[in-house]
């Protein structure tokens, strides 16, 4: 009798027929405030969910994603996280775009012992100073992307550097990592100017005027979205770009190149932009070709970085559930440590010491083709090669997060 009752309790009645409860993933992201990234991101995870359900689901159950819009506000993200965990009773939380939102969700995950896969937030604090047992990050961090870019920056003759970055967690983290890593390789460099515009409120003219007064040899840029478009337009008008060498995080991503169009800084012998990004139309690996083809068939458009991140986020969650053979959060955490999973960029894994994924990024230069921005002279930088040593991580990650 007890076995029968337990079996009945595991079923829910929908439309008069008994169905096994689906595996629920709560997804929180900045859908209304950052649509250029989060719309492709949503399409990426939708493709992954459709594929897994068509293949029979997980543990004999269908996968259901319940998505919520945080509007780029940490307090909204927390409100949704509480509702998803308490009312919807999701098995896993995922998402986050802005770093401050990601940190708020990570804190919620730790307090509520709920696995959280941070898809996009890039701040180093997410897996180090403010890391915890229940939070894992997919995309290469600010430290990792800074390390990728520094490899190219040290080749420039530039000694005097200026920085432009949004004044919140992501921008601060990116600049700190770039400074640390560049100075380690080139002790002769100095940083002569910093500009910290509020996110979404860049005054490009004032910013560039202040930067150029310091007479830098090169600029490290961390702006993105509409701020990046303003900066590039103003720099072009002032004849700063592409003459002034710029090392720029994320600027080679299609989400932003589509905004720049024919204003994309062009490659020159003495200047140009060195960037991390995604040359989707030039990658010929089998994993990427399959993903890009399936994505185009479903959405009638080519993938963007958001598409890859959304798809890979779900692949990581699916792999963890398969490995744990359970949706129990403690078992999932154990499964996530050292978890190997597939992405459109190739295989990746979450290292146990800090819960950071080894998924990499593409590094190259900006140019134009047929009046559109593109990446040239690019290479894939495997994230595993740009992670700090264990002792560096242990000095920054809290002891409680190591458990």
Same domain as 318, residue 276: no
How far is the C-alpha of 351 from the C-alpha of 345, rounded, in Å?
Answer: 17
For position 11, what pLDDT does the model report? 43
- Please give the C-alpha separations between residue 223 and each of 119, 157, 259, 332, in angstroms, as whole numbers: 19, 23, 13, 35
Whether residue 75 is contained in a domain is answered as yes
Residue 118 has pLDDT above 60, yes or no: yes
Whether residue 253 is contained in a domain is answered as yes
For the chain, what is the mean pLDDT? 93
pLDDT band at 19 (very low <50, low <70, confident <90, very high): low
Whether residue 399 is contained in a domain is answered as no
Q: What is the pLDDT of residues 137-181, one digit of tens each?
A: 999 999 999 999 999 999 999 999 999 999 999 999 999 999 999
Residue 327 has pLDDT above 50, yes or no: yes
Q: What is the sign, positive or negative, of the torsion defined by CA atoms of 42, 138, 397, 330?
A: positive
DSSP secondary structure, 311-355, as one string: HHHHHHHHHHHHHHTS--HHHHHHHHTT-EEEETTEEEEB-TTT-
How far is the C-alpha of 353 from the C-alpha of 20, rounded, in Å?
Answer: 36
Same domain as 266, residue 368: yes
Same domain as 368, residue 245: yes
Same domain as 376, residue 336: no
Whether residue 167 is contained in a domain is answered as yes
pTM of the model: 0.93
Whether residue 396 is contained in a domain is answered as no
- How many structural domains compose the chain? 2
Same domain as 373, residue 243: yes
Same domain as 380, residue 236: yes
Q: What is the pLDDT of residues 270-295, one digit of tens each?
A: 779 999 999 999 999 999 999 999 99
Q: What is the pLDDT of residues 223-276, one digit of tens each?
A: 999 999 999 999 999 999 988 999 999 999 999 999 999 999 999 877 799 999
Residue 210: which domain range? 143-280+361-386
Whether residue 400 is contained in a domain is answered as no
Compute CA 318 distance to the chain's CA centroid, rounded to the nearest angstrom.
18
Same domain as 245, residue 298: no
Residue 17 has pLDDT above 50, yes or no: no
Do 309 and 138 form a contact (C-beta atoms < 8 A)?
A: yes
Same domain as 8, residue 115: yes
DSSP 281: G
Whether residue 67 is contained in a domain is answered as yes
**CATH assignment at residue 219:** 3.40.50.2300
Whether residue 398 is contained in a domain is answered as no
Cβ neighbours, 10 Å, residue 190: 12
For position 399, what pLDDT does the model report? 72
Percent of the chain with pLDDT over 90: 91
What lies within 8 Å, CB to CB, of 284 at 6+ separation is: none
């Amino acid at each position: 009798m007890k076995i029968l009752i337990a079996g009945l309790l595991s079923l829910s009645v929908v439309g008069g027929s008994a169905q096994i409860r689906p595996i629920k993933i709560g997804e929180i992201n900045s859908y209304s405030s950052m649509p250029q990234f989060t719309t492709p991101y949503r399409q990426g995870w939708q493709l992954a969910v459709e594929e897994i359900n068509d293949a029979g689901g997980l543990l004999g159950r269908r996968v259901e994603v319940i998505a919520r819009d945080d509007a780029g506000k940490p307090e909204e993200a927390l409100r949704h996280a509480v509702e998803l965990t308490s009312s919807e009773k999701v098995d896993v939380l995922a998402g986050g775009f802005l770093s401050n939102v990601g940190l708020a969700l990570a804190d919620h995950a730790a307090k509520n012992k709920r696995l959280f896969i941070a898809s996009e937030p890039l701040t180093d604090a997410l897996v180090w100073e403010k890391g915890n047992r229940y939070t894992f990050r997919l995309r290469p961090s600010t430290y990792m992307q800074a390390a990728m870019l520094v490899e190219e920056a040290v080749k420039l003759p530039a000694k005097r550097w200026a920085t432009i970055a949004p004044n919140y967690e992501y921008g601060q983290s990116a600049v700190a990592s770039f400074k640390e890593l560049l100075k380690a390789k080139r002790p002769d460099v100095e940083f002569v100017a910093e500009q910290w515009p509020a996110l979404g409120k860049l005054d490009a003219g004032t910013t560039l005027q202040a930067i150029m007064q310091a007479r830098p040899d090169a600029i490290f840029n961390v702006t993105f979205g509409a701020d990046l478009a303003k900066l590039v337009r103003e720099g072009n008008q002032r004849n700063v770009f592409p003459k002034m060498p710029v090392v720029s995080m994320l600027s080679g991503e299609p989400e932003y190149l589509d905004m720049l169009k024919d204003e994309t800084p062009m490659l020159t012998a003495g200047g140009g932009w060195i960037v991390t990004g995604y040359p989707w139309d030039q990658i010929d690996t089998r994993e990427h070709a399959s993903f890009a083809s399936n994505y185009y068939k479903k959405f009638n458009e080519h993938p963007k970085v958001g598409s890859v991140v959304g798809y890979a986020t779900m692949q990581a969650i699916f792999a963890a559930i398969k490995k744990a053979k359970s949706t129990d959060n403690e078992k999932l955490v154990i499964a996530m440590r050292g978890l190997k999973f597939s992405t459109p960029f190739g295989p990746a894994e979450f290292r146990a010491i800090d819960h950071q994924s080894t998924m990499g990024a593409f590094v190259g230069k900006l140019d134009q083709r047929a009046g559109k921005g593109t990446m040239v002279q690019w290479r894939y930088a495997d994230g595993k090669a740009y992670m700090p040593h264990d002792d560096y991580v242990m000095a920054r990650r809290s002891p409680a997060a190591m458990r």
